[in-house]
Chains A and B, each alone.
Chain A
């Protein structure tokens, strides 16, 4: 049978009697006429750069900065394409967080009453859930930013840091209309009986500042998870649980610091400080302090400093962590 001779010839068990090479077999691999050292010497002599090595940090930062237009277009396009396949379209960018907040208001605010001691539970929960959603989605988007774009990575050259940045930019563009709705709900909740009136004060002008800090912070976190998940895809499964722990631990839907007194006294100051000064807790505190007149949440410049500190440190650390893995993305 012909196939059998093919298999035998291909595996090289038998030489053919005819002179010359068996046409079914390729020639033996070429032995290069230069050694590895000679080739590298040639490369050096003619000033050739090695491909696929991580560029120095300074050059990398300039590269990323020069791709800002790409980041913006990719980010807005991603945001737009997300809500394109249904009738209400872009309206879902606003409806989704509203429904999300409604669920928590019903369960935690009204049924369980975990927000006792607060004057305006609705404002508290709405601000918490809208802003936490921004963080949560940034982490998820960051974790998928490399794996989802493997094809793009394998066809085009660009600093890979563009991908997580663009993901968070895309979330920011959907957050802006949602924030308008969030402010409206905060105002309207003041009209309900039993709730005190909410006023628009000068401090509302600070909202863009805290959102900007949160954006910087989220980008830093997105860098870190992007690298972690790109190298170890299993971590993607854990992120959901960590995010839920963070959500309940940062007082998104109830003032978690009010429950610290239930812990043993020895750990109370430590746990209390952690809960109060961890980044999400800080961002939410600042946002609530500028939007509501909750007596337990006065304006506090120190919290602003904490927020700025967290944002800058996380961004810088995240960027460096991501850059250090640059040459590995796309290899799989």
Chain B
């Protein structure tokens, strides 16, 4: 995978209409450290993967679990090794360190596959690190639409399961039940199995469930990308409310304007490494340049009449020539 092959479907402004984001810009009143990330490495074990082919294409963060030996025996065996014991590793986060302080809201940006979501999950403590560590005050919570619920069960059961899994007591779940249903705006569908929901309804319910508990540190993963304008406004209000209590916020989003409106500091992650860390304007200016340059390169390649398929056929020729 070369960089030009990476998907760059980054919204520059589409996701939020500017009027959705009215209100004062967040101002950081920075306090004590609440989260320290120390040289974090996350490695996924992937069974049945084709590390060799992918690695040959140049993706730096995928490699074979065992170093390939070039002995004759190894080469004889290698034809079967793809089917027996094919384990590869994806090095999704490669040595990230930073310190987050109380009162900061931190955006994480990067193109698809750069390791943003993995980083977010790792600092929430949901994916154990290969090496390095995450130190945190209080219990961070991930607010996302990916909270895996049980599609064959009714929305009602799912609210219970989600709420209890978040650490609420049965009494608290009961108290907040109506609020969750109202926020998700699904009405009587709450008594139907979740697999019958439209994707928007499902996403709204998941968001409503996962925002039912108010955590110390809040991690938001693309949660704002779902739903219609009314829901977006509501969810932004909910996040603002949570932010007032939470103190520290992490936000992963493809929408640069969302990050701009909500964050005081931005981390730019590229291929599992932290390439920039600083104030919102400074980092986003650079990141915009990067994304625009890539988009331009892609669209001019398309305009030249060379489709992706044709390009991939031409690449080996070019490599042979050079």
By size class, the interface of chain B is 35 or more
Q: Mark B143-177, 1 if CB is under 8 A from A, else 0.
A: 01011101011000100111011110110000000
The answer on a CB contact under 8 Å between B276 and A27 is yes
Distance A27 CA – B271 CA, assembled complex (angstroms):
12
Q: Contacting chain A: which of B71-79, B130-138, B225-233, B257-265? A: B130-138
Tell me whether A51 is interfacial, beta carbon within 8 Å. yes
Q: Mark B191-203, 1 if CB is under 8 A from A, else 0.
A: 0010000000000
Q: Contacting chain B: which of A30-38, A113-121, A135-143? A: A30-38
Residues of chain B lying within 8 A (CB to CB) of residue A153 = 126
Distance A73 CA – B159 CA, assembled complex (angstroms):
11
Tell me whether B304 is interfacial, beta carbon within 8 Å. yes
A158/B165 contact (C-beta < 8 A), A34-B99, A40-B38, A43-B38 known: yes
Residues of chain B lying within 8 A (CB to CB) of residue A42 = 33, 36, 99
Across the two chains, which residue of chain B brings its CB closest to A28?
A: B275
Across the interface, B152 reaches (CB within 8 A) one of A30, A84, A151, A332, namely A84
The answer on a CB contact under 8 Å between B268 and A26 is yes
Q: List B residues 184-222 near A (Cβ within 8 Å).
A: 193
Residues of chain B lying within 8 A (CB to CB) of residue A36 = 38-39, 97
The answer on a CB contact under 8 Å between A70 and B297 is no
The answer on a CB contact under 8 Å between A52 and B134 is yes
Distance A27 CA – B35 CA, assembled complex (angstroms):
25
The answer on a CB contact under 8 Å between B167 and A155 is no
Across the interface, A2 reaches (CB within 8 A) one of B165, B167, B289, B301, namely B301
Tell me whether A301 is interfacial, beta carbon within 8 Å. no
Residues of chain A lying within 8 A (CB to CB) of residue B311 = 3
CB distance from A309 to the nearest CB of B (A): 33
Across the interface, B165 reaches (CB within 8 A) one of A1, A48, A70, A78, namely A70
Distance A62 CA – B257 CA, assembled complex (angstroms):
44
Across the two chains, which residue of chain B brings its CB closest to A3?
A: B301
Tell me whether B28 is interfacial, beta carbon within 8 Å. no
Distance A77 CA – B150 CA, assembled complex (angstroms):
9
Q: Contacting chain B: which of A211-219, A256-264, A323-331? A: A323-331
Residues of chain A lying within 8 A (CB to CB) of residue B95 = 29
A49/B135 contact (C-beta < 8 A), A10-B4, A39-B36, A73-B161 known: yes
The answer on a CB contact under 8 Å between B134 and A24 is no
Q: List A residues 28-74 near B (Cβ within 8 Å).
A: 28-30, 32, 34, 36, 39-40, 42-43, 46-53, 67, 69-70, 73-74
The answer on a CB contact under 8 Å between B4 and A73 is no
Closest 6 CB pairs of A and B: A151-B148, A51-B125, A43-B135, A23-B293, A70-B164, A48-B135
Which residues of B approach A to under 8 Å, CB–CB?
A: 2-4, 32-39, 44-47, 58, 95, 97-99, 121-130, 133-137, 139-142, 144, 146-148, 150, 152-153, 157, 160-162, 164-167, 169-170, 193, 268, 270, 273-277, 286, 289-290, 292-294, 297, 300-301, 304, 306, 311, 314-315, 318
A sample of 25 inter-chain contacts (CB < 8 A) reads: A1-B304, A6-B4, A23-B292, A29-B95, A29-B274, A36-B38, A36-B97, A39-B38, A40-B36, A46-B32, A48-B34, A48-B135, A50-B133, A51-B136, A52-B128, A52-B133, A69-B170, A70-B164, A77-B153, A151-B146, A152-B148, A152-B165, A156-B162, A327-B128, A332-B45
Known: A6-B294, A46-B34, A53-B133; 6 extra A-B contacts, CB below 8 A, are A24-B294, A29-B273, A52-B129, A74-B165, A84-B152, A156-B165
